[in-house]
């Protein structure tokens, strides 16, 4: 695949034929992601061998992360539920999000203290604490998308797609969010994000077909241009220096079915200098 890059990073294809990839996460030696079009959660190793882990009946969106005991969490967005995959592969309701919003949910991140943050609906972030309580901890977000928590558990960063910015919150000792501020103003709408060990954020940009590394304040450190939309990205691999990008042709929300059937989605990789950060 021809790639136009403004950096010297070499981008290679790990997996093709994806209907609509989202929510990539590095876990136990493999890259896991949600294929919204195929209604599957897939894991792929560094050789490109893939396995369907969960087949779902969920309509998009559905995103993933893990509890610290290794159980998989799935945001069933339109069902307004946070699900948990048990050791016997059954799915149970971990939290009912409908009391906060019944307008659908999107992204998820689990911090180093096992607090769970889920966003969506009318621009809100919900906190699900380890004791199972659910509360609204932020609102007024302009189309919430990717989220990440700094390794010291002090800051949550969220992509506000419609506002073209990354927004940060301080995380209080009880998991609630304080001191909302602009972390970086951007030139395009950010989607999925991840944090590296220097505190920079990689964000995916669908309409501008790029993945960008940016520092707090908005300085662009590195840009990777592709021939299709970048939906999300994460850092992983044995040394956490592999940037995984899920990319797909994008023709607008009214063409979602057409896009999924075309299976133009890919999982791409690039080796970077600064490793990822965060648990585990």
Spans of all domains in the chain: 11-271
Nearest CA to 150 out of 188, 112, 177 is that of 112
131-164 tens-digit pLDDT: 999 999 999 999 999 999 999 999 999 999 999 9
pLDDT at 8: 60
Q: Would you say residue 1 has pLDDT above 60?
A: no
DSSP at 9: P
Mean pLDDT of the chain: 94
Distances (CA, A) of 51 to 33, 42, 134: 11, 6, 33
Q: Which CATH architecture has domain 11-271?
A: 6 Propeller (2.120)
183-225 tens-digit pLDDT: 999 999 999 999 999 999 999 999 999 999 999 999 999 999 9
pTM of the model: 0.95
Q: Would you say residue 20 has pLDDT above 90?
A: yes
pLDDT at 234: 98
User: What are the residue ranges of helices labelled H in the chain?
Assistant: 256-262
Residues 6+ apart with CB under 8 A from 162: 142, 143, 189
């Amino acid at each position: 695949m021809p790639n136009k890059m403004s950096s010297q990073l070499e981008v290679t294809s790990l997996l093709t034929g994806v209907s609509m990839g989202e929510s990539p996460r590095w876990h136990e030696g493999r890259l896991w992601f949600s294929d919204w079009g195929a209604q599957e959660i897939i894991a792929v190793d560094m050789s490109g061998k893939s396995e369907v882990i969960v087949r779902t009946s969920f309509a998009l969106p559905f995103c993933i992360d893990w509890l610290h005991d290794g159980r998989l969490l799935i945001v069933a967005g339109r069902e307004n539920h946070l699900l948990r995959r048990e050791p016997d592969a059954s799915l149970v309701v971990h939290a009912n999000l409908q009391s906060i919003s019944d307008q659908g949910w999107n992204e998820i991140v689990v911090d180093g203290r096992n607090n769970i943050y889920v966003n969506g609906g009318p621009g809100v972030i919900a906190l699900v604490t380890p004791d199972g309580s659910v509360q609204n901890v932020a609102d007024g977000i302009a189309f919430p998308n990717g989220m990440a928590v700094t390794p010291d558990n002090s800051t949550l960063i969220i992509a506000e797609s419609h506002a073209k910015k990354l927004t940060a919150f301080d995380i209080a000792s009880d998991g609630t969010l304080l001191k909302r501020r602009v972390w970086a103003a951007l030139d395009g709408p950010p989607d999925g994000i991840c944090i590296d060990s220097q505190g920079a954020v990689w964000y995916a940009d669908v309409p501008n077909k790029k993945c960008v590394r940016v520092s707090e304040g908005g300085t662009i450190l590195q840009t990777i241009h592709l021939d299709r939309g970048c939906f999300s990205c994460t850092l992983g691999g044995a040394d956490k220096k592999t940037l995984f990008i899920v990319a797909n042709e994008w023709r607008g929300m009214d063409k979602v079915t057409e896009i999924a059937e075309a299976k133009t989605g890919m999982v791409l990789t690039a080796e970077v200098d600064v490793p990822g950060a965060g648990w585990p």
